[in-house]
């Protein structure tokens, strides 16, 4: 059982910073990246530190490409700053910009050639994290980027739960996740369903123990069973279910076809690439 104690180490962060961050429309990945930056800067009583993409990716268990994309956004929004570009055998030095009045302004980096975002004049919007530029993205382009971010959010959420971990996201996985995001499902509903599924798998109070790949889980018949609105914690609780007592691991071979389908116990695709 985890039992963290402040005496074993803590990260001092001003209340004003936490209050300012909580009001910003940061996505989950951006916030997780900030917690790592705080941990390895303020947590060691320093204002900046060398932090590579690989290190942050491992610390957050988020795909490296998504980490890069969101760090670029945080730099561009002036929420974090690059103090020193990477060199031979040396990672990029990053700091958190605690002056939240500057958030939303474009940041000029130290080297135009090595910059992760293009240079431009400082711009500020009424909304701290809404950028204005001479060439703003079209509505279609913004929508496309948002969909891509949501797909990676689902994929990363799945891998953090360690149900069946995938090293890379295949086209089949991307297509399956994208299809559900394009249906009636909100991103929040899908992430909650993954959480519910992972909790039930590890719970001694629930009988469902079948592990799908993310592609199989995105099948609407499977996803629906774990939506919070469909009460999965009661539906899969051990006890009487339609006149039978559900065992820890249902005997699939003895189940009629309709019951296997109801509980999603069809053979899963074991491709973990």
Is 267 inside a domain boundary? no
139-163 pLDDT, tens digit each: 454 456 577 878 888 988 898 888 9
**What is this structure's pTM?**
0.45
Start-to-end CA distance of the chain, whole Å, equals 32
Same domain, 69 and 114: yes
Is 58 inside a domain boundary? yes
Number of neighbours of residue 7 by Cβ within 10 angstroms: 6
84-134 pLDDT, tens digit each: 888 767 788 999 999 999 998 654 433 333 444 333 323 333 333 443 333
Kindly tell me if the per-residue pLDDT of 40 is higher than 60. yes
Number of neighbours of residue 232 by Cβ within 10 angstroms: 20
Same domain, 87 and 154: no
Residue range(s) defining the domain that contains residue 172 = 140-262
Q: Alpha-carbon distance 66 to 153, whole Å?
A: 9
Is 36 inside a domain boundary? yes
Residue 25's pLDDT band (cuts 50, 70, 90)? confident
Region 242-258: mean pLDDT is 52
Tokens linked to 241: 């279910």
Is 48 inside a domain boundary? yes
Same domain, 131 and 150: no
Asked which of 135, 162, 182 is the last residue of a domain, the reply is 135
Asked which of 106, 135, 164 is the last residue of a domain, the reply is 135
Give the number of C-alpha atoms closer than 13 A to the C-alpha of residue 81, restricted to the C-beta side.
Answer: 15
Q: Alpha-carbon distance 173 to 169, whole Å?
A: 6
Residue of 20 and 242 predicted with greater confidence: 20
């Amino acid at each position: 059982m985890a039992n963290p104690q402040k005496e074993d180490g803590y990260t001092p962060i001003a209340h004003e910073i936490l209050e300012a961050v909580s009001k910003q429309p940061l996505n989950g990945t951006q916030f997780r990246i900030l917690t790592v930056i705080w941990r390895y800067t303020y947590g060691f009583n320093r204002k900046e530190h060398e932090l590579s993409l690989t290190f942050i990716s491992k610390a957050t268990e988020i795909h490296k490409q998504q980490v890069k994309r969101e760090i670029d956004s945080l730099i561009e929004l002036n929420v974090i700053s690059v103090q020193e570009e990477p060199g031979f055998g040396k990672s990029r030095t990053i700091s958190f910009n605690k002056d939240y009045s500057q958030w939303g302004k474009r940041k000029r980096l130290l080297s135009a050639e090595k910059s992760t975002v293009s240079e431009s004049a400082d711009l500020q919007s009424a909304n701290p994290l809404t950028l204005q530029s001479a060439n703003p993205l079209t509505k279609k382009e913004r929508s496309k980027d948002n969909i891509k971010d949501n797909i990676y959010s689902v994929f990363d959420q799945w891998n953090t739960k360690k149900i069946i971990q995938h090293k890379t996201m295949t086209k089949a996985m991307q297509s399956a996740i994208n299809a559900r995001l394009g249906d009636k499902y909100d991103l929040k509903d899908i992430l909650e369903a993954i959480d519910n599924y992972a909790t039930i798998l590890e719970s001694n109070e629930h009988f469902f123990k079948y592990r799908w790949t993310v592609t199989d889980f995105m099948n609407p018949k499977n996803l629906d069973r774990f939506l919070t609105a469909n009460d999965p914690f009661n539906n899969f609780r051990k006890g009487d279910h339609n006149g039978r007592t559900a065992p820890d691991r249902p005997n699939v071979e003895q189940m009629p076809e309709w019951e296997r389908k109801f509980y999603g116990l069809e053979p899963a695709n074991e491709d973990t690439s």
